Amino acid sequence: MNPQLPSPQAGEPRSRRNVAIGSAMQAVVRLVVVVSGAFAVALQVRTLTVADYGVFVTILSIITLLSAFTDVGLTNTAVQRIARDPLRQRVVAGGLLIARTTLGFLLALIGAVVALSLFRTSADRLSAALMIASIPLATMTALQAISIARLRLMQQNLLLATQGLFWLVIVIVLSATGADLVMFAAGFLLSAVLQGSLVWAILGRKGNVDFRLGVREVPSLMRQAIPLGLGGIGTTAYYRLSGVILFATAGPVAAASYAAAFKVVDMLQAIPASLLAPLIPLLSRALESNDARRVDRLWDLASRLALSVSMMVSVGVAVTAPQIVTLLFGSAYADSVDLLQVVVLGFIPICLGWVATGALTAAGRVKGYAVVTLSVATGSVAAGLILMPRFGAAAAAAISFVTEMLVATGLLWVLWRETQLRIRTSVWARAALAASLMGTAVWFVKPPFADWILLLVQIGVGIVVASAALFLLRVITIHDIRAVFSKSDIMENRV
């Protein structure tokens, strides 16, 4: 055995001992990240003007879109390779970092040109330059592929927690000093520097990354990743370009109203991610071993979790949207309530699309994914260019929902065609019934309390009713919960 490469069993006993604690902590950390992110947004929108916040989120949309080009499916491909062959971890990680960093510098230059043409004031352009400079630094986070593939949940927990913490502390300081847009942009860059440094300190050790052999891995990584990456670019394009088009055609205030609604959905994605992310490497291993029965069981668990959680969250947020917008963004963003009630319905297909993409990636069937997402993205951008100049943020919200529905439908069809995996009709029906019961219960909870107390009461009622409905209708079972929060069941083929 090559002494430079880690043994596939290295760290396995430690992982088994800590896996239950790590899984439970990951759920808690994800919740903390959501709460800290919400608090940071609440402070930021109350410090910046609506127009300045519109500029900030538009720059952020540009960065997210460009970041999709820096990844082009490389990180997911690396996770798949490391999960299937831990002996090649160092080589794959080295190739991943080389490819993403190179692309990061190239895309940062393109982003600077885009910012110069889109923004008019010197403050807006300087803010864009500072934030876009974070793109090459952010590529360092790709090393988290090691933690994901090897199910090192404690490392993931630390990185997740600090990512939100860095930005929250910076926002608190900036808000306390009444900072302007440029200072928030500088804070964004500082957050990226801190996060990238931490990832390198934890995962960039010599034993984890081999740049010399990694150079040879880059062409192979790119060939496998590009179809997946094209689909990822399409996915990012249709929801990030909407914000950019809206800014260019309707102005920063409309962009801010739409971004406020979409920010809620963005934060919510941490919930299914914490439940489903560990299942994808396990699905890769099951497919590699041609264990059809285990593949079916893992897919059934992942799809039921995605469907039930997304339906509950989507319906719950739609019902409580007035309180959520008031608490997070204030009265200046009242127009975002209706937008949120439309956009959050797309959370269901977002989650289903996410789990379908993971299954297609694990199976190595990504060409159909690219075709679906790029085709829908093209239509979505065209619809935005036609409708947003006339209907503004309302058109952006409607296009977002329709786009997510089309993408999820297409991906689930491709998955069924390629692998015969599908979500059973009975699961759809029972999950929808459970969500309807929960939504009805929350709707009738309207005590004469302050908004934040009312929201807490509604959340409590929603959790109780949702849990009872899901268990009574057998959408989710006790065994499912045990499997998710104690991955040893899955690792030892009990699922």
* Cα(482)–Cα(434) distance, integer angstroms: 21
* Cα(117)–Cα(331) distance, integer angstroms: 32
* Cα(188)–Cα(205) distance, integer angstroms: 26
Say which DSSP state 4 is in.
Answer: T
- Which of 130, 255, 291 is CA-nearest to residue 122? 130
Which residues does 138 contact at the CB level (< 8 Å), separation at least 6?
Answer: 67, 70, 104, 192, 195, 196
| Chain position carrying tokens 């409905």 | 469
Other residues' Cβ atoms within 10 Å of the Cβ of residue 93: 26
Domain extents in the chain: 12-491
Which residues does 473 contact at the CB level (< 8 Å), separation at least 6?
Answer: 430, 433, 434
Whether the pLDDT of residue 5 is over 50: the answer is no
Whether the pLDDT of residue 144 is over 50: the answer is yes
Whether the pLDDT of residue 184 is over 60: the answer is yes
Whether the pLDDT of residue 60 is over 50: the answer is yes
Residue 185: the pLDDT is 96
* Cα(146)–Cα(138) distance, integer angstroms: 16
Question: b/e string for 206-231 if b means 16 or more Cβ within 10 A?
Answer: eeebbeebbeebbeebbebbbbbbbb
CA 317 from centroid of its chain's CA atoms: 18
Q: Which two tokens stand for residue 361?
A: 């990636």
Residue 177: the pLDDT is 93
Q: How confident is the model at residue 281 (pLDDT cuts 50, 70, 90)?
A: low
Contact 90/205 with Cβ under 8 angstroms?
no
Mean pLDDT value of segment 49-56: 93
Q: Which two tokens stand for residue 459?
A: 């959340």
Mean of per-residue pLDDT scores for the chain: 81
- What confidence tens digit (pLDDT) does each residue in 222-240 have? 777 777 667 667 667 776 7
- What confidence tens digit (pLDDT) does each residue in 322-366 have? 989 988 898 889 999 999 999 999 999 988 888 888 788 777 777
Q: Which amino acid is at 443?
A: W
* Cα(456)–Cα(463) distance, integer angstroms: 11
